[in-house]
A and B are shown apart, each in its own frame.
Chain A
Amino acid sequence: MARRPPMHLLRLQGFSIFHQLKLEERLLRTTSQNWCLINEGTSPPAIVMGISGKPEQLLDVKAVIRDGISVIRRFSGGGTVIVDENTVFVTLICGGDSVPIPKLYPRPIMDWTEELYVPAFRSIPGFQLREHDYVFGDRKFGGNAQSITRGRFLHHTSFLWDYQDARMAYLRHPDRAPAYRVNRQHSDFICRLKDHLPSREVFVDSIVHAFDHQFSLEETDLDAIQKTLTDVPHLNSTYVLSTCQLEESLTQKQ
């Protein structure tokens, strides 16, 4: 049996998504190890945009300001999500020499993750990677994004264990949407994992079990990680947009 590369596993519950993203960026840029972060839920709800996201195009900015929803710009690419206590976050941070991907480009990485997740969703018919989304049939249940740096990459996913339609209303229909969406409204395009799996615990355990096929997982905790991280200056691209910045976006051409 081929040797499985080591991977640190950090399991969190209700951890701040902003602090999670800051930690992810730090682990990607300042360490050489493999990491898996699983965070079950975040509170309060927050909107997370990709690196190039424009609030005026992607959000109902007035409603976001009115309701005091945090808007975070993350360091990876991809689209906009609203996350809350019902979102399960799974992040992989890997060195290129630890994965069977000949070239660290977006498509090969996405394809590899599909293979990685197959065992976790074996009980659910129709699981596949469709364009860049994890779907059951034509319904998306997880959004992905990546950041690729020299010899390393990060791939993170926000899984919809459950969601509230009212919160989805903060998000506008994006200009760039996958072809398979075919102009469907959000509620017709996405689905809830809780409708397919018995419990969140079973879901998370099945992911850990799936990853354990390819990596030798070593569970760790936040304190242990903080002790090992050095104070290396690194690019820090994750931040919360201020109310002022959101208001300013309303004056931009949409």
Chain B
Amino acid sequence: MIFYLVLGFLRTVSSPRVTLEVLALHLVQGFSRGSSSCITRIVDDFRIVVTEVRDGLHYAETHEWVKVDGDIGTIGISDHAQKALGDLVFIELPEGGSAVTAKTRFGLVESVKAVSEVYSPVSGEVVETNSSLSETPETVNSSPYDEGWLIKVKLSDKSELENLMNKEKYAEHQDGH
């Protein structure tokens, strides 16, 4: 009981908006059906609350980021997304030379039991894919903004970047979505 209260307090302090109601829900569930799943949920929620939002990137509502260098955009998923998805075990990426379109699926990630789609923040042509992820998909979890990049795209319409979010706006967005 005290453990749940401490975890709940830490969670509320770090993201006050979040959830006295969620804490209450977890406590009721814990009492009614055993503590192990209750602890898992509270810890999972806490992990997701503490995330990195990196400066200098453009973020999509669907939690992908793009880093622009000249005409090339490097695309990955945010720290929030990788935490929420869980341990990644498989990543499917498009082939080099294929076209991607903004807000359209370009690949998928698999985490233990679930396949989730990833969407391109921008349009263009895939010029490189991170082939290391076929052997070590967990790199996306450990380094979502660096070694865990997914694809590089030659941008076809830089004005699409205006539809994306900066660090501050994305930080607000990830709290609500």
- Residues from chain B with Cβ under 8 Å of A146 in the complex: 113-115
Q: Does B110 contact A (CB under 8 A)?
A: yes
Cβ of A105 and Cβ of B84 under 8 Å apart? Answer: yes
Cβ of B41 and Cβ of A51 under 8 Å apart? Answer: no
Q: Tell me the count of chain B residues lying within 8 A, CB to CB, of chain A.
A: 25
Cβ of B177 and Cβ of A50 under 8 Å apart? Answer: no
Cβ of A148 and Cβ of B90 under 8 Å apart? Answer: no
If A75-B115, A78-B114 touch, whether A150 touches B90 (CB-CB below 8 Å) is no
Q: How far is the CB of A252 from chain B (nearest CB, A)?
A: 13
Q: Does A103 contact B (CB under 8 A)?
A: yes
If A106-B85, A106-B86 touch, whether A128 touches B34 (CB-CB below 8 Å) is yes
- Residues from chain A with Cβ under 8 Å of B110 in the complex: 50-52, 77
Q: How far is the CB of A38 from chain B (nearest CB, A)?
A: 20
Q: How far, in whole Å, are A111 and B30 apart by their CA atoms in the complex?
A: 13
Q: Does B37 contact A (CB under 8 A)?
A: yes
- B-facing residues in A229-251 (Cβ within 8 Å): 235
Cβ of A145 and Cβ of B113 under 8 Å apart? Answer: yes
List, sorted by A's number, 5 A–B pairs whose CB atoms are closer than 8 Å: A51-B90, A52-B89, A105-B85, A107-B86, A111-B41
Q: How far, in whole Å, are A111 and B84 apart by their CA atoms in the complex?
A: 13
Interface 1/0s, chain B 145-170, versus A by CB < 8 A?
Answer: 00000000000000000000000000
Q: How far is the CB of B48 from chain A (nearest CB, A)?
A: 9
- A-facing residues in B121-177 (Cβ within 8 Å): 177
Cβ of B33 and Cβ of A128 under 8 Å apart? Answer: yes
Nearest B-chain residue to A178, judged by Cβ: B112
- Residues from chain B with Cβ under 8 Å of A39 in the complex: none
Q: How far, in whole Å, are A235 and B113 apart by their CA atoms in the complex?
A: 20
Cβ of B113 and Cβ of A150 under 8 Å apart? Answer: no
Cβ of B37 and Cβ of A147 under 8 Å apart? Answer: no
Interface 1/0s, chain A 68-108, versus B by CB < 8 A?
Answer: 00000001111100000000000000000000000101110
Cβ of B113 and Cβ of A129 under 8 Å apart? Answer: no
**Sample of 5 further A-B pairs with CB below 8 A, known A77-B114, A147-B115:** A77-B113, A106-B85, A106-B86, A106-B112, A130-B37
Q: How far, in whole Å, are A111 and B40 apart by their CA atoms in the complex?
A: 11
Cβ of A76 and Cβ of B115 under 8 Å apart? Answer: yes
Q: How far, in whole Å, are A118 and B37 apart by their CA atoms in the complex?
A: 14
Interface 1/0s, chain A 139-154, versus B by CB < 8 A?
Answer: 0000011111110000
- Residues from chain B with Cβ under 8 Å of A145 in the complex: 113-114
- When the two chains form the complex, which single residue of A52, A111, A114 contacts B90, counting CB atoms closer than 8 Å? A52
Q: How far is the CB of B95 from chain A (nearest CB, A)?
A: 16
Q: How far, in whole Å, are A144 and B89 apart by their CA atoms in the complex?
A: 16
Cβ of A78 and Cβ of B33 under 8 Å apart? Answer: no
Q: Does B101 contact A (CB under 8 A)?
A: no
Q: How far is the CB of B113 from chain A (nearest CB, A)?
A: 4
Q: How far is the CB of A234 from chain B (nearest CB, A)?
A: 11
Q: Does A171 contact B (CB under 8 A)?
A: no
Nearest A-chain residue to B83, judged by Cβ: A105
Q: How far, in whole Å, are A52 and B44 apart by their CA atoms in the complex?
A: 25
Q: How far is the CB of B81 from chain A (nearest CB, A)?
A: 8
Q: Does B111 contact A (CB under 8 A)?
A: yes
Cβ of A106 and Cβ of B62 under 8 Å apart? Answer: no
Interface 1/0s, chain A 176-196, versus B by CB < 8 A?
Answer: 100000000000000000000
Q: How far is the CB of A157 from chain B (nearest CB, A)?
A: 10
- Residues from chain B with Cβ under 8 Å of A149 in the complex: 105, 117
- Residues from chain B with Cβ under 8 Å of A107 in the complex: 41, 44, 84, 86
- B-facing residues in A101-126 (Cβ within 8 Å): 103, 105-107, 109-111, 114, 118
- Residues from chain B with Cβ under 8 Å of A235 in the complex: 105
Nearest B-chain residue to A75, judged by Cβ: B115
Q: Does B65 contact A (CB under 8 A)?
A: no
- Residues from chain B with Cβ under 8 Å of A78 in the complex: 112-114
Cβ of B117 and Cβ of A132 under 8 Å apart? Answer: no
- When the two chains form the complex, which single residue of A51, A103, A132 contacts B115, counting CB atoms closer than 8 Å? A51
Q: How far, in whole Å, are A129 and B34 apart by their CA atoms in the complex?
A: 11
